[in-house]
Structure formats: C-alpha cells, structure tokens
Copies of this chain bind each other. A is one copy, B any other.
Amino acid sequence: MSDLKKQILSAVEDDLQAIEQELVTNLTPHLALVRKVASHILFSGGKRLRPLLMVLAARICNYQGNYDKTFSTIFEYLHAATLLHDDLIDGARLRRGRLVAHSVWDNPTAVLVGDFLLARGLAIAAETGLPQVIKVIAHITEEMSQGEIHQLQRKKAFDLTEAEYMEIIRRKTAVLFQGACRISALLAEATPVMEAALADFGLHLGMAFQMADDLLDYTTDSAVLGKQVGADLKEGKLTLPVIHALANAENGVREEMIAVIGDPGFSTTQFEKLVQQLASLGGIDYTWRLAHQHIQKAKDALHLFPATETRQIMLDIADYALSRKL
C-alpha cells in the first residue's frame, strides 16, 4: 500500500467504520435473498470513496448534525445498484476478483436487486426531508442511467469523439461524486458558494477518477486489477487513451488498430502491441494529463475552505485518485 493511501486510511479510520455500520443498518430488505445479493456487491472490498467524500464534505462545511453517515449510504447504494446492472450489461465475469452477482445467482436477480438498491438509495434520500437534496439525487440517477445508455449505444463506434467521451463519463461517474460532495453542503446549510465549490471538487475528482480507471485497463495486469485486462476493449468500450490514439494515428496504423479493437477475440500479443501503439501515439500520456488537470481543478475548488485536517484529507484523496493501482 502506498504511503498516501496509508495516511488517508489512518485519518478516516473511524469514519469508514461508521459508514460500514450504516451500510449494514440501512439496507433493511424484507427478504433474506435481497440482503444476500446486495451484500455480495456491497461488502466485497469497495473503497467507500463516495460516502467518505460526503462525510468529509459535511465536516468541511462544519455540519453539526448526526445524519451524515446515514445519508452517505445513499451514494454507496446507488453505486452498487449501477455495478449490478453494469456487470450484467457488460457481460462481466469478475469484479474485485470475485464472481459477479449475475453469475452467482442469475440475471433476473441481479436486475431486481439493482432496482431495490436504487429505490433504497432514493428512499434514504427522501428521509432527509429536504426536497432540494432529493431533487439532486433523483437527478443523479437519471443522469447515470443515461450515461450508461449513451456508452452502450456508442460501443464499437470508432468515431466516438473526446467530447462525447467526456459527456459519457460525466454522467455515468462524475455526477455521483459531485452529488456526494454537494449534498453535504445542503445538509450543513452551507453558503451557495461553498455548495458550488464542493460540487466542483466532486465533479472534477469524478472525471479524473474515471479517466484513471479507464487507464488501468492499459497499465495494470489482471492479478492486480481483479478482472480481465483489456476488458473495456473486449466489450467495445472506447475510452480516452484509445480515442486520442486513433485520432492521432496515420492511415494504415489506424486501420490496424481498429481491426484489433473490433475483434473481441484479440490475442494477448495483439493487445500488448495495441497498448504500445496507444502509448506511442500519446493516448496514455494525454489521458494522464487531462486527469491531472481535473485533479488540479478539484483541489483548487477547496481553496476557499480554511486549511484544516479535513481539507488536507480531501486534497490527499484527490492525489490518491491518480496514484491508485486499483
């Protein structure tokens, strides 16, 4: 584990424990099967980044209430719901090194438990009693489903542009980070300026997080990743490293790359060559550079808050988003 990760984990140990407890307590299904399937995805080594961000954002706004940890579960439940549906849609086999829920159980169960988790997240949002909070969360779920549909619709679309990629990852990933940070400001009755700053922090962190995630497919091996390397490509999912490389490739090379990408049965040798091409055409570096820019914007957004320990942890998490190996 990196020093940065150790440092963050030690600073937020109590928060993470409290979040973990709330995730168990607030699940409240009627059926044992629902708890079992939901727990399979919820308690399988997730980082709890989204609820943690909410708790920290509440603290930086000087929130004095007792409900930050309870409401932070909304973001993990919504996240877990999308993972259940996405794994099914992507035909994934492994997540975090474990068999996915639709393989352990079946597709219908994964769909319906995903629906339950989505509903549960919104039900907890409703318990805030704050219409503004509920609106933000309902809107997030709309955006997320549309981001996923957009991505699905544009699988194997070799003309996918950078702008379209940005739109997809904003919806499917960044709006949830943004919401987690923004909701805290609403709960804490912080100023609109603080609310906007935290929303910016979450949005940019989320964008960078997804870009770093997309890079992992080309920079990490299977054992570390806990899933198949090259999985994005096998699903026809074009991410920024590929989009940028394709845009920079000369004719001939471009066609060669497309031939590999278009064939889900590509060999390890073909994949390794493709990764080299992505690198030499600048796709990897460019993606890192943009991710770094987003992290810088995220960190800049926190300037208006006093230099507390909480702010430092949030800045550290922003740096960690780029250094993580999985």
Contact = CB atoms under 8 A, between A and B. Distances in A.
A108 B152 CA distance: 8
Contacts of A139: 123, 126
Interface stretch (A57-65, A113-121, A180-188): A113-121
A89 B125 CA distance: 28
A122 B141 contact: yes
Interface in A72-100: 85, 88-89
A293 to B, nearest CB: 25
B116 A88 contact: no
Interface stretch (A143-151, A221-229, A300-308): A143-151
A108 B89 contact: yes
A161 interface: no
A301 to B, nearest CB: 25
Contact of A89 (B111, B120, B134, B138): B111
B135 A126 contact: yes
Interface stretch (A25-33, A253-261, A279-287): A25-33
A112 B89 contact: yes
Nearest to A32: B153
A34 B33 CA distance: 31
Contacts of A148: 112, 115
Given A111-B88, A129-B131, A134-B131, A123 B142 contact: yes
Contacts of A29: 146
A61 B145 CA distance: 36
A256 to B, nearest CB: 29
B33 A149 contact: yes
A137 B119 CA distance: 9
A145 B115 contact: yes
A130 interface: yes
A119 B138 contact: yes
A152 B116 CA distance: 14
B126 A142 contact: no
A272 interface: no
Nearest to A142: B119
Given A119-B141, A119-B145, A123-B135, A109 B152 contact: yes
Nearest to A117: B145
Interface string A27-54: 0011101100000000000000000000
Contacts of A118: 115, 118-119, 141
Given A131-B134, A134-B134, A85 B115 contact: yes
Interface of A: 29-31, 33-34, 85, 88-89, 107-109, 111-116, 118-120, 122-123, 125-131, 134-135, 137-139, 141-142, 144-146, 148-150, 152-153
Given A89-B111, A115-B148, A126-B138, 7 more contacts: A107-B107, A112-B148, A118-B141, A119-B144, A123-B142, A126-B131, A131-B131
20 contacts: A31-B149, A88-B107, A88-B108, A88-B111, A89-B111, A112-B152, A113-B145, A113-B149, A115-B118, A115-B144, A115-B148, A116-B146, A119-B144, A119-B145, A122-B122, A123-B138, A126-B137, A126-B138, A131-B131, A134-B134
